[in-house]
Amino acid sequence: MRLLVRSWNLYHGRTHPQSSGLHLEAMVRLVTADAPDVVALQEVPLWAAKQLDDWSGMSASWAMTMPALLGPLARRVTASDPERYRSSLTGQANALLVNPHFDVGRHRRVVLNPGLTRQDWLLRGGQRRVCQSLEVERDGEGIVLANLHASKSPDPELGGREIQHAAAFLADASRCVLCGDFNLDRHPVPGFSEPIGGIDQILVRGAEVERGPDVWPVERRTVGGMVLSDHAPVEAVISSTS
């Protein structure tokens, strides 16, 4: 099995620096244009999560991290001022996109900060953090894909505990790819491949990193003179044998 894997925080569809409107469809089409095997996405508005299959031509499995407050109206309000509203009205999800040549199995998720209360979310801007995992198989060979978005905090131990929680959730997966926005620079996970510099990672256990992980140059995510997202996609080629 040989996989081209990407991970990208979509920044709710915004550009950096901020421009008018949202560009989620353009982002998803860009990162899936050459039919990669796996794409892990973070900061996907809930309304957009339901469009991922059509935009990408891939099979999407997503896990809600924040509920929407205004239903269908939230998309219009947020698009009118993306910098102000972000995901506070539209809600938010993580998503795993997989190429149709895979057989897709069990999809699981775990909340990484279960102590978060509704009051934390409504009054303090707290966000539920989730790790999702997806079992996939091709030609009789299986692998577990995982995607997380850890908390950003002045206390690095907070994000570290969440990542440790995710690692425990994945402990039984002998062959695993862990993607996501760790919000900690070069944070290692025992048993997985070494992280790269930065907060966006693709880590591997039970397989070989054949190439990368590599960060896309800014030109590759610039469309119509606009730089999509404040994060760059990260990609790696992974190979394994049964």
* Domain boundaries of the chain, sorted by first residue: 2-239
- In 127-173, at which residue ranges do the beta strands (DSSP E only) sit? 130-138, 141-149
Place of tokens 């469809």: 25
What are the tens digits of pLDDT across the range 43-75? 999 999 999 999 999 999 999 998 766 555 445
Question: Distance between CA atoms of 132 and 139, rounded to whole angstroms?
Answer: 23
Query: Average pLDDT, stretch 130-142?
Result: 96
CATH architecture of 2-239: 4-Layer Sandwich (3.60)
Distances (CA, A) of 141 to 9, 113, 197: 28, 33, 31
Q: Mean of the per-residue pLDDT values for the chain?
A: 90
Residue 119 pLDDT exceeds 70: no
Distance CA 130, CA 128 (A): 7
What 3-state class would DSSP assign to 40? strand
pLDDT at 18: 85
pLDDT, residue 97, reads: 98
How confident is the model over 187-204, as a mean pLDDT? 98
For the ranges 99-103, 152-156, 162-166, the lowest mean pLDDT is seen at 152-156
DSSP at 153: -
Model confidence at 85, in pLDDT bands (50, 70, 90)? very low
C-alpha distance from residue 145 to each of 40, 94, 96, 239 (Å)? 9, 13, 8, 14
